[in-house]
Amino acid sequence: MKTICFSSSLVLSLLFFLSTSVTSAQNFESPAALREFKEPASSEEVLEFTKKVANYYDFLSYQIIGNSVEGKDIIAVKASKPGAENNKLRILLFGQQHGNEQSSKESLLLIIRDINKYQEWLDVADIWIVPQVNPDGADINQRRNAMDLDLNRDHVVLDAPESLAIQRLFQNTLPHVTVDIHEYFPYRESWEEFGGFKNFDVQVGVPTNINVEEQIRSFALNNVLPEIENHLAAKGFSFHNYLVGPVPTEGRTRYSTVDINDGRQSFAIRNTMSFIYEGINGKDGFVEGLERRTIGQYEAIVALLNFLTQNHYDVVELVNESREKLINSQKGNKVTIRMDHFKNSSPLKLPLTSSRTGEDTTVVVKNFHPLVKPIAEVKMPKAYLVPANDSLLLKILQKHNVFYEEAFDLSKNDAYKYFINSIEETEIENFDNIYPQVEKRKVKVQSEDYIIVPIAQLHANFLVLIFEPQSMLGLAQREGFEYLLEEGKAYPVLRLE
């Protein structure tokens, strides 16, 4: 057995070194599939398998995009055929930010296994695949990383090396489309007591923050989701637009969050057509039903890539034009800094599996809030002035590749400072949220005390959302940044108008 393994890998490396055009199919199989999905791939196996396939095909390459807290490599495969057209669609797929959501990684390993079969995708698209963002958590089937951080709540502050790695890859490649792959766990006690569990094989969410270009949100919702649903139905899998909320008797049901600190909305706010996939987890939160879970997610990815590559001109144009708007942002453009979920006229008919009989059933959810509407807006400044000695704020700008300058002329524009009159505690999406009452005053400042962050860049909406003191998604709402908002004091970040 050992000899066979040795000689086949020798042949592979010879082929690699000869580097002739290798396109003939090879029967790769993912580590979990070889074990009939009784055990998911370990982080070591993810690297080994990914490198093996990437080394075999000349249209694949790989790079290590970062290291986990425990020092494990985070690998990205790039699929790109040379000689294809210039204006290619760029797609980033990434999985297992949450280590206990095994099918997110397994489905991407099957995409890597099969990508040779989908040459038509690569005629028009470059695809990056990161099968495992959180190897430390994954190896012990734990949601969080080894710093006990939830990576999918870390995309603003970027404390974890893993979330920073995926944001860096995004900045370096600027994909038009991103897909963040997860699993949801429907079998909580509260649902058992309620009488039924959600049973969708795959839920897919689209951007819901209303600052994301409207056409991107509607294209994803109205053009893409039905395609995924139809493809999954034909393959025998069920689907729903991603729903979040407690049992219907205990609170609101809505379409996920508007916060920009996750792997979907953080990219969407840069006008990316971003998706979140939520496959069903096993009852054991680990491997139960892993084969079906993996294939469900895999088929949902195939459906998405089929449709987007068939419509690549439209998607590239839509995203490029939407990003141009951000890059040309001007003083006075409106940004919604507070928003909430509202009811529409029709209740939700929610299919469930009865927790008593195991049969299909439907409940009518009256407390359904599918619409997101603005509550408060501000106008964009020309730039923000950030205290040059606030290393925490500067570090965030650097991590997000935000453009700023240290030397600038303050004579042509007026600087305004917010004063915090009072602070009100509110609640948004079931989390505490601060709503300060502020007063804006024109001030004279010394340019050497500040750095200047022009609004006219891809991050325009992101900057307004993190810097405005009344923003429900502001930095001041986040752990470690409470110092920004203190009653009776001035807010440290200024507006240049």
Give the residue among 407, 402, 410 at the shortest CA–CA distance from 475: 402
Pair of tokens at residue 133: 């963002």
Its sign, for the CA torsion 156, 44, 144, 267, is: positive
Q: Residue 84 CB, nearest distance to Zn ion (Å)?
A: 33
Which span sits near Zn ion by CB under 5 A: 100-108, 158-166, 236-244, 455-463? 100-108
Q: Of 256 and 477, which has the nearer Cβ to Zn ion?
A: 256
| Helix (H) / strand (E) containing 463 | helix 460-467
Contact between 434 and 337 (Cβ < 8 Å): no
In the bound state with Zn ion, the residue whose beta carbon lies nearer, of 101 and 162, is 101
Q: Pick the closer one to Zn ion by CB: 211 or 274.
A: 274
- C-alpha of 64 from chain center: 19
Separation between Cα atoms, residue 92 and residue 74, nearest integer Å: 14
Pick the stretch among 8-16, 32-40, 81-89, 179-187 that binds Zn ion (CB under 5 A): 179-187
What residue number has its CB nearest to Zn ion? 182
Q: Nearest 5 degrees, angle CA 217-CA 222-CA 224?
A: 85
Which distant-in-sequence residues (6+ apart) come within 8 Å of 327 by Cβ? 456, 457, 458, 460
Helix axes 43-56, 2-18, angle to 10 degrees: 50
Nearer to Zn ion, 149 or 466 (CB): 149
Closest to Zn ion by CB, 98 or 113: 98
Q: Which residues of 36-49 are buried (b: 16+ CB within 10 A; e: fewer)?
A: ebeebbebebbbeb
Q: How far is the CB of 6 from Zn ion (least distance, A)?
A: 39
To Zn ion, the closest distance from the beta carbon of 197 in angstroms equals 17
Does 98 help bind Zn ion (rule: CB under 5 A)?
yes
Pick the closer one to Zn ion by CB: 35 or 188. Answer: 188
Residue 182 binds to Zn ion (criterion: CB under 5 A): yes
Report in angstroms how near the CB of residue 304 gets to Zn ion at its nearest.
18
Q: Which is nearer to Zn ion, 155 or 176 (CB)?
A: 155
For the window 139-178, what string marks contact with Zn ion as x by the rule CB under 5 A?
A: ----------------------------------------
Using CB under 5 A, count the residues that bind Zn ion.
3
What's the closest the beta carbon of residue 182 comes to Zn ion, in angstroms? 3
Site for Zn ion contains 495 (CB under 5 A): no
Question: What are the Cα distances from residue 207, in Å, to 28, 92, 220, 230?
Answer: 35, 16, 8, 21
Nearer CB in complex with Zn ion: 101/201: 101
With contacts defined by CB under 5 A, name the span among 80-88, 93-101, 132-140, 390-398 that binds Zn ion: 93-101
Does 264 participate in binding Zn ion (rule CB under 5 A)? no
Question: What are the strands, taking DSSP E only, across 17-72?
Answer: 60-67
**Euclidean distance between CA atoms 274 and 182, whole angstroms:** 14
Residue ranges that bind Zn ion, judged by CB under 5 A: 98, 101, 182
